[in-house]
Amino acid sequence: MKDTKVYILDGGTLVIDGFHVYWNRGPAGEVRFPVYSVLIDHADGLYLFDTGYDYDHVMAVLPFEKPQQTKEQTIQGAIEKAGYRTQDINYVINSHYHFDHCGGNKHLKEACTVCHAAEFGQCKCPQPFEILGYSDMSFHPDMLREKAKREGKDLPPDPEMDVWTPKVELLTGQQEIAKGLHLIETPGHTAGHYSLLVELSGRKPMLFTADAAYTRKGFDEEIISSFHLDPVAAVQSIRKLKDIALKHEAEIFVSHDLEQFGTYKTAPAHYS
Ligand SMILES: [Zn+2]
């Protein structure tokens, strides 16, 4: 069986306040943070864990997050930089449906998309404080249209979107979706959040927390972000990831930490 390869795809950066990164702890002030996706070349196919944000969406809906994204940092540009083609990706796994984790899904129409069943339900009827997080519904045109209808908006016809309904596979519980690829339930940040553990032949396992931990300091000190559905569950999820990291001697990859990101190997380099 061929060895699994892992590519970290740089998706550009955004800005939020320090009190959002470290809920009720801070310090306040602008924090620029990275957004990235993970491409896994596995014997069973090409998997993409998260798809980053869509620049136009952020500029239209959340311009205060000051997106910086080059063409190479769009999902298509980043996949190409890793040496692959967007249309060859077989599976898109969304850790959750916040706009900075699913903005590129619409460019991966051939892929089967995988997410937690609870997440799929929640993003359709979010709590008032989750509305901006779930503002980009382009990953599912039918849901996008329903949302526009609820909001009394008229969506102009879009030939790109109107012909497409994604193949969605909903999961619950811990799942080994392919040999050595484990989805770990880490709710709290959102209703149905998944982190990802990847076992590799030549190095220690990689544990991608996704938004269960934005930063290394948040992970170590169990400080969650202010964007969450259930803060107690979010802290429990960090503890669960700590246990798993210990048990598997895994290396932690947090989601939104510029300093940590600088130490990651990004595509075209890979881990194997
Ligand atoms: Zn999130």
| CATH code: domain of residue 233 | 3.60.15.10
Tokens 């016809």 belong to which residue? 157
90-105 mean pLDDT: 98
Helical ranges in 82-129 per DSSP H: 99-102, 117-124
pLDDT at position 153: 87
Q: What local confidence, expressed as pLDDT, does residue 256 receive?
A: 98
Helices 141-150 and 117-124 sit at what angle, rounded to 10 degrees?
30
pLDDT at 137 over 80: yes
**Within a domain: residue 198?**
yes
Mean pLDDT, the chain, integer: 96
State the number of CA atoms in the 13 A half-sphere of 184 facing the CB.
25
The order of strands in the sheet holding 175-178 is 175-178, 181-185, 194-198, 206-210, 251-254
Confidence class for position 126, pLDDT limits 50, 70, 90: very high
Q: How far is the CA of 134 from the centre of ligand 1 (A)?
A: 9
Structural domain of 90: 5-261
pLDDT band at 3 (very low <50, low <70, confident <90, very high): very high
Residue 101 counted as domain residue: yes
Using the predicted structure, report yes or no on whether residue 132 has a pLDDT greater than 80.
Answer: yes
| 229 alpha carbon – ligand 1 mean position (Å) | 10
Query: Length of the chain in residues, anyone?
Result: 272
**Is there a domain that residue 27 lies in?**
yes
272 falls within a domain: no
Ligand 1 centroid, distance to 87 Cα (angstroms): 26
Please check whether residue 104 lies inside any domain of the structure: yes
In the chain, count H helices and then E strands. Answer: 10, 11
Which tens digit of pLDDT belongs to each residue from 201-234? 999 999 999 999 999 999 999 999 999 999 999 9
Residue 160 binned pLDDT confidence (cut-offs 50, 70, 90): confident
- What does each C-alpha distance from 84 to 7, 43, 75 come to in angstroms? 11, 15, 11
268 lies in some domain = no
pLDDT tens-digit map of 165-196: 899 999 999 999 999 999 999 999 999 999 99
* pLDDT for res 158: 85
Q: Which are the catalytic amino acids?
A: 100
CA distance 119 to 31: 27
Give tens-digit pLDDT for 18-54.
999 999 999 999 999 999 999 999 999 999 999 999 9
Sorted by sequence, the CB contacts under 8 Å of residue 67 that are 6+ apart come out as: 12, 13, 14, 53, 55, 58, 59
Cβ-based burial of 251 (10 A; exposed 0-12, middle 13-18, buried ≥19)? middle
User: What are the residues whose beta carbons fall under 8 Å from the beta carbon of 103, sequence distance 6 or more?
Assistant: 51, 52, 53, 54, 57, 58, 75, 136, 138
Torsion of CA 233, 239, 243, 244, to 10 degrees: 50
Q: Measured in angstroms, how far is the CA atom of residue 193 from the centroid of ligand 1?
A: 9
Give me the long-range contacts of 155-162 (CB less than 8 A, separation at least 24): 160/106, 161/106
Q: Are strands 167-171 and 175-178 parallel, antiparallel or unpaired?
A: unpaired
Tens of pLDDT, residue by residue over 77-96, are 999 999 999 999 999 999 99
Is 199 among the domain residues? Answer: yes
Residue found under tokens 């239209």: 60
Q: What distance in angstroms lies between residue 213's CA and the mean position of ligand 1's atoms?
A: 10
Q: What is the pLDDT of residue 5?
A: 98
DSSP state for residue 189 in the 8-state scheme:
S
Q: What total of structural domains would you count in the chain?
A: 1
Is the pTM higher than 0.85? The answer reads: yes
Residue 1 pLDDT more than 80? no
119 within a domain of the structure (yes/no): yes
User: Per mean pLDDT, which range of 101-105, 145-149, 170-174 is the poorest?
Assistant: 145-149
Ligand 1 mean position to 202 CA, how many Å? Answer: 31
Mean pLDDT of 53-75: 98
**How far is the C-alpha of 22 from the C-alpha of 162, rounded, in Å?**
40
CA of 2 to the centre of ligand 1 (A): 33
Ligand 1 center from residue 172 Cα (angstroms): 18
| pLDDT category of residue 272 using cuts at 50, 70 and 90 | very high
